[in-house]
Structure 1
Amino acid sequence: MNPDILKDEIQDYIFDFSGDSSKLAFRGSPFSEVTVQELLIQIEGRKKVEKKLPTWYETRGILYSKKLNLEQSSSEETAKYKASLVKGERLADLTGGFGVDSFYFAKSFKKVEYYEQDATLAKTVCHNFSILQNENIECFEGNSLEMIEEKYYDCIYVDPARRHDLKGKVFMLSDCEPNIIEHLGFVLDRCKTLIIKTSPMLDISAGLKQLGYVKEIHLVAVENDLKELIWLLEPGYDGEIHIQTIDFTKHGLEKWNVSWNNSEEPSYSQPLSYLYEPNVAIMKSGKFGALSKYFSVNKLHLNSHLFTSEKLVQFPGRRFEIISVMPYSKESMRTLKKTKVNITTRNFPETVANLRKKWKIKEGGNAYLFFSTNINGEKIILQCCKV
């Protein structure tokens, strides 16, 4: 780390920069003490965290690292959520990264130990903790599994990173570093609670088979974009597994919880007055029968994952009033040709892109079309407006 980056005039330049960073790269650094590459890492890093990490973005003296660490970092929203799940005396973050999770865990624990193998990143993050006035976080550089061998914690947190050579393959925990499956017994022997953050690509059933001792799984989304799966494990636990679905929306928090062992079947019907599309966290859970019963809504078809009711109900996802239901036919589609409308397909043989191209339908407007399949296996079009 070049300490000159922290000089007032250089920090002013980074904070005030609003131009084209590619032009800056061509012009070169206006400061003799720092290179243009060093400036660009800070300017582009700060720009990247504006929405994801507003506390970091708004704080002078924060240092940024290479892009990969920022992309893999938790957002402040999701980090706060994880920190709300546990509390105690001592926590170890075995995969420290950019330090966002450690920062928020430090508000729930008296002491947090941050571990990071990348020495440069660890020094950067330790500096940021001091700027952010985190006095109860201790930073360690090196292999966390080796360094905690003689220690014990109320909670251990780990966010295994997927190896780069596995791009495109099915996501498996055993393909990540550290390999938490290989070291699971070792880690569980050193804590009361283990929290594992995984990619939303991980299949829940596969994760349960690989892990064991799972008490809770939290499926966390932001604006209907599934961000992470949070697994809470307790040594020796063999009880009911609780699923918590979370979606942070502009209008508030959508939460719904269900037992993983719940195997209720949904009720079915033809489309009624209202249509419901579950948020992505609920879609990931796959607990459509429990959802149907809890909210008193009917499913359109086994594989459609759309729900309907006669009366409007609160629901974790999008809600629509059904204006009309039409069979999917050339005659029906001719009435929609060259219109401007939002399209969604669920359990339907054609893609949104195909439908738009084939019938020259523009995207946008206040009308919504759902192309799906009803209980009788018939292809249908639901014309809706948002509630």
Structure 2
Amino acid sequence: MNQAILKPEVQNFLRDHIQASPASIALGKSPFPDVSAPELAEQLDGMKRAQKKLPQWFNTTNIYYPGLLGLEQSSSSLTGAYKRGLINVGSSIVDITGGFGVDDYYFAQRAQQVIHCERNASLSRIAEHNAKQLGVTNIQFFPNDGIGYLHSSDKVFDFIYIDPSRRVKQQKVFRLSDCEPDVVMHGPLLKQRGKTVLIKAAPLLDIQAAVHELSGVTDVHIISVHNECKELLFVLRNNPTNAITFHCVALSNKTSDILRFNEEQEKTSQPVFDNPGRYLYEPDAALLKAGCFKYTAVHFNLSKLHQHTHLYTSETFKEGFIGRCFEVIKVETYSDFKKNKNSTQGNVSTRNFPLKPQELKKKHKIKDGGDQYLFFCTGPQEQLLVLFCRKR
């Protein structure tokens, strides 16, 4: 850490230039003899990213930002606050891959004791400094390897939290056993030292493959923010139940919606298939990632357009759906749509359709944008359809 970055004049400079491009700051001359232009650019970039991702940090004075990777891999305020709710009040938790410390900030609001382990000593110091600025006093910081810390301690924690790095030798990896640390190999140690183990994973990870890799999974949380799947969270316990509960969590700045189900419910659900009615429902990314296709229809009392078309419909509007809702203005077969050859404008989406949105826009000269939404999909009689909709 360069302590000069925390001087009032430097912090004021960063705030005054919040609309500036970090690249332009990096290429310019620093007005401060003890802070370089690249350092200013790095802090400005972190501040700009925090403005949306971590508003609590952005609105707190004298926050020190790490390099790009440290911020990219951190949780957001929305996901951190959600995970806070999984921690018991008065519990103990050790985060063996502490990083920038966002999750630990939220854990500390419920836990009595939080241990932050981070083998990058510089990042550990940054997280400790920021915790003080944020007014948190119940986090202990250890600039050590988290697995080594568990080996050296004989304490059993209520929770162990781990966010293994998905970058190994500068390359992205997608299996848990390829991440660092290897949570599959260290599984026995984790469950020996923690009554409950929470493993954060990237949204691209195959959920079923991860469940098979791990032992003792009781819950899987699939978390989306503004309809974009952001992370997976696997919960491991020493006394697992037979049925894993999947939590589809859709977060936004205004709402928090959750749908829970298990594999048996999805397997045995028997949705009704029907033609598009007055209303169309597009499931949130968390539902799609979880593979909650049939149970979604049954749970919300909706009809499904086709076994492999993950769109739902109803004649009367159904409140509480987790996803986007539309009013259907017109339905055409794709063959009629091609014959009409009318130029149109709209936001194009495809579901179970042979062509991709970009191909359709180019082929039919569809202009992007506007209030109209065009869904190209397969209907219940295997017919290719075009649904003209507007957002409800």
Contact 1:222–1:248 under 8 Å retained in 2: yes
Aligned residue among 148, 152, 165 for 2:156: 152
1:260 is displaced (CA, Å) by: 2.8
Q: Look up the match of 1:101.
A: 103
Aligned residue among 319, 336, 359 for 2:325: 319
TM value normalised by structure 1: 0.95
Query: Could you tell which deviates more after superposition, 312-321 or 244-253?
Result: 244-253
> What pairs up with 1:350-369 in 2 under 5 angstroms?
350-369=355-374
Change (3 A) 1:56 1:250: closer
> What pairs up with 1:336-351 in 2 under 5 angstroms?
337-351=342-356
* Alignment-mate amino acid for residue 80 of structure 1: A
3-state SS of 1:109 partner: coil
Q: Look up the match of 2:181.
A: 178
Change (3 A) 1:336 1:151: farther
Q: Does the alignment pair 1:276 with 2:281? A: yes
Q: Look up the match of 1:245.
A: 248
What CA distance in whole angstroms lies between the structure 2 residues aligned with 1:21 and 1:275?
A: 43
> What pairs up with 1:37-186 in 2 under 5 angstroms?
37-87=38-88, 88-149=90-151, 150-165=154-169, 167=171, 171-186=174-189
* Alignment-mate amino acid for residue 51 of structure 2: E
* Alignment-mate amino acid for residue 122 of structure 2: T
* Alignment-mate amino acid for residue 317 of structure 1: G
Q: Does the alignment pair 1:14 with 2:18? A: no
3-state SS of 1:112 partner: strand
CA offsets 1:88-142 (integer angstroms, 9 cap, x no match): 4210011101100011000010110000010111111111111112110000011
Q: Look up the match of 1:296.
A: 301
Contact 1:346–1:373 under 8 Å retained in 2: yes
What CA distance in whole angstroms lies between the structure 1 residues aligned with 2:391 and 2:210?
A: 36
Aligned residue pairs, count: 385
What CA distance in whole angstroms lies between the structure 1 residues aligned with 2:239 and 2:165?
A: 26
3-state SS of 1:189 partner: helix
What CA distance in whole angstroms lies between the structure 2 residues aligned with 1:93 and 1:209?
A: 24
What CA distance in whole angstroms lies between the structure 1 residues aligned with 2:26 and 2:172?
A: 33
Query: Could you tell which deviates more after superposition, 25-34 or 46-55?
Result: 25-34
What CA distance in whole angstroms lies between the structure 2 residues aligned with 1:385 and 1:255?
A: 25
What CA distance in whole angstroms lies between the structure 1 residues aligned with 2:206 and 2:23?
A: 40
* Alignment-mate amino acid for residue 92 of structure 2: R
Q: Look up the match of 1:372.
A: 377
CA offsets 1:303-333 (integer angstroms, 9 cap, x no match): 111111122112111111222221111x423
Change (3 A) 1:218 1:292: same
Percent of paired sites with the same residue: 38
Contact 2:166–2:172 under 8 Å retained in 1: no
Contact 1:336–1:361 under 8 Å retained in 2: no
Query: Could you tell which deviates more after superposition, 220-229 or 295-304?
Result: 295-304
3-state SS of 2:310 partner: coil
What CA distance in whole angstroms lies between the structure 2 residues aligned with 1:3 and 1:166?
A: 29
Q: Does the alignment pair 1:265 with 2:266? A: no
CA offsets 1:5-26 (integer angstroms, 9 cap, x no match): 2212122112222434333333
1:359 is displaced (CA, Å) by: 1.2
Q: Does the alignment pair 1:200 with 2:206? A: no
What CA distance in whole angstroms lies between the structure 2 residues aligned with 1:141 and 1:106?
A: 18
1:168 is displaced (CA, Å) by: 6.7
Query: Could you tell which deviates more after superposition, 231-240 or 209-218?
Result: 231-240
* Alignment-mate amino acid for residue 161 of structure 1: S
* Alignment-mate amino acid for residue 86 of structure 1: I
What CA distance in whole angstroms lies between the structure 2 residues aligned with 1:230 and 1:260?
A: 17
1:273 is displaced (CA, Å) by: 2.0
What CA distance in whole angstroms lies between the structure 2 residues aligned with 1:20 and 1:282?
A: 37
3-state SS of 2:52 partner: coil
CA offsets 1:37-78 (integer angstroms, 9 cap, x no match): 222221121112110011111111111111001001100110
Change (3 A) 1:251 1:91: closer
Change (3 A) 1:353 1:105: same
Change (3 A) 1:132 1:286: same
Query: Could you tell which deviates more after superposition, 288-297 or 332-341?
Result: 332-341
TM value normalised by structure 2: 0.94
* Alignment-mate amino acid for residue 105 of structure 2: F
3-state SS of 2:197 partner: strand
Q: Does the alignment pair 1:386 with 2:391? A: yes
Unmatched runs of 5 consecutive residues or more in structure 2: none
What CA distance in whole angstroms lies between the structure 1 residues aligned with 2:131 and 2:312?
A: 47
3-state SS of 1:177 partner: coil
What CA distance in whole angstroms lies between the structure 1 residues aligned with 2:3 and 2:254?
A: 43
What CA distance in whole angstroms lies between the structure 2 residues aligned with 1:14 and 1:168?
A: 32
1:85 is displaced (CA, Å) by: 1.1
3-state SS of 2:75 partner: coil
Change (3 A) 1:303 1:178: same
